[in-house]
């Protein structure tokens, strides 16, 4: 950025900060003023940062920036007296502030910009970024940006000392990866399809057992809670209704027996088929399910055969 571009950007940030200040958005005004201050260290900007912190009832940060304004190398004519007057006036309202125990402005930039900065494990923002009032002594600085090497260093800070840190980030280099062709790669085992007919048999068997169990437990049992016992109690044994219920019970017995028998056979057959199928798959043999039309002189149909 040329000096002319820097000055234009500085002025634009100052104007934008004033607009946010007038709207009452003091936090955003401070961020813009700090960004301008990192372009050109100006005692008027620092004074404005201090007065904006005062609007936020943060007298400590306000005093810190007033003192930073007094350390500018080339102060604006007439401003040091104005800054001192404001500092002395505010000091009476902020007795807890001790300038001898904290640092001055710490400005951090990086190339490329937009790196995240941590100080003592706490995120302070993204470059370019400025902070103030760190305790004097040792501090661990960490600068991180995706795709670039992480920078970490320990910095010893003195009270009331201003510091500018610039980090030239290095791109992460990808390690060389050698690819060795395998002349005879081991073939991947083929996945075996599901044995749908066997699974269908087990499902049908479960349905048959369910029907048989329902009829047996809720319609044919000898308890009074069951259908036929409860219904036949309404009629005498020599009545037609009693006889009709008896015939229906016989039919239900036949249905129950058939459903249960088919359920057992289908379930057992399907389970056996799955076991044998799994064994054949492990041995590498194939199974087959054949469905073919059958036509002869007396009629036609469909034939099914399984090999397992």
Six token digits for residue 91: 């000091």
Please check whether residue 62 is in contact with residue 91, taking contact to mean a CB–CB distance below 8 angstroms.
no
pTM above 0.75, yes or no: no
Residue partners of 191: CB distance under 8 A and separation at least 6: none
Q: How far apart are CA 167 and CA 112, in angstroms?
A: 9
Q: How far apart are CA 216 and CA 231, in angstroms?
A: 16
Burial bucket for residue 229 (CB in 10 Å: 0-12, 13-18, 19+): middle
Q: How far apart are CA 30 and CA 130, in angstroms?
A: 11
Q: What pLDDT score does 247 carry?
A: 78
pLDDT tens digits, the chain, 308 residues: what are they?
Answer: 788 998 999 999 999 999 999 999 999 999 999 999 998 889 999 999 999 999 999 999 999 999 999 999 889 999 999 999 999 999 998 988 888 888 888 989 999 999 999 999 999 999 989 999 898 899 999 999 999 999 999 999 888 888 889 999 999 987 656 656 555 556 665 666 677 777 887 888 788 778 877 776 666 676 666 766 766 667 777 777 767 767 777 787 788 788 778 777 777 777 786 677 776 666 555 555 544 444 444 544 545 555 54
Six token digits for residue 29: 């005004």
**Radius of gyration for the chain, computed over Cα atoms and rounded to the nearest angstrom:** 45
Please check whether residue 274 is in contact with residue 195, taking contact to mean a CB–CB distance below 8 angstroms.
yes
First CA to last CA distance, the chain:
80
Residue partners of 70: CB distance under 8 A and separation at least 6: 43, 80, 83, 84, 87
């Amino acid at each position: 950025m040329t000096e002319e571009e820097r000055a234009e950007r500085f002025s634009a940030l100052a104007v934008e900060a004033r607009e946010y200040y007038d709207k009452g958005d003091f936090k955003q005004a401070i961020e813009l003023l700090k960004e301008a201050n990192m372009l050109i260290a100006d005692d008027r900007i620092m004074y404005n940062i201090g007065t904006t912190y005062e609007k936020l009832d943060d007298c400590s940060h306000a005093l810190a920036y007033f003192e930073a304004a007094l350390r500018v190398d080339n102060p604006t004519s007439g401003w040091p007296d104005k800054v001192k007057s404001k500092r002395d006036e505010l000091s009476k309202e902020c007795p807890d502030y001790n300038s001898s125990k904290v640092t001055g402005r710490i400005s951090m930039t990086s190339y490329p910009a937009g790196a995240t900065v941590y100080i003592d494990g706490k995120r302070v923002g993204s470059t370019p970024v400025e902070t103030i009032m760190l305790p004097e002594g040792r501090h661990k600085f960490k600068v991180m940006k995706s795709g670039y090497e992480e920078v970490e260093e320990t910095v010893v800070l003195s009270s009331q000392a201003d510091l500018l840190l610039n980090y030239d980030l290095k791109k992460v280099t990808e390690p060389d990866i050698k690819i060795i062709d395998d002349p005879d790669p081991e073939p991947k085992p083929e996945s075996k399809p599901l044995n749908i007919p066997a699974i269908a048999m087990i499902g049908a068997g479960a349905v048959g057992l369910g029907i048989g169990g329902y009829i047996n437990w809720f319609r044919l049992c000898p308890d009074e809670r069951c259908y036929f016992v409860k219904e036949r109690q309404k009629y005498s044994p020599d009545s037609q209704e009693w006889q009709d219920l008896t015939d229906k019970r016989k039919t239900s017995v036949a249905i129950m027996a058939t459903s249960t028998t088919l359920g057992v056979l289908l379930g057992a057959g399907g389970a056996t088929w799955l076991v044998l199928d799994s064994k054949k798959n492990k041995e590498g043999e194939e199974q087959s399910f054949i469905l073919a039309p059958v036509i002869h002189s007396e009629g036609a149909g469909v034939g099914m055969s399984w090999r397992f």
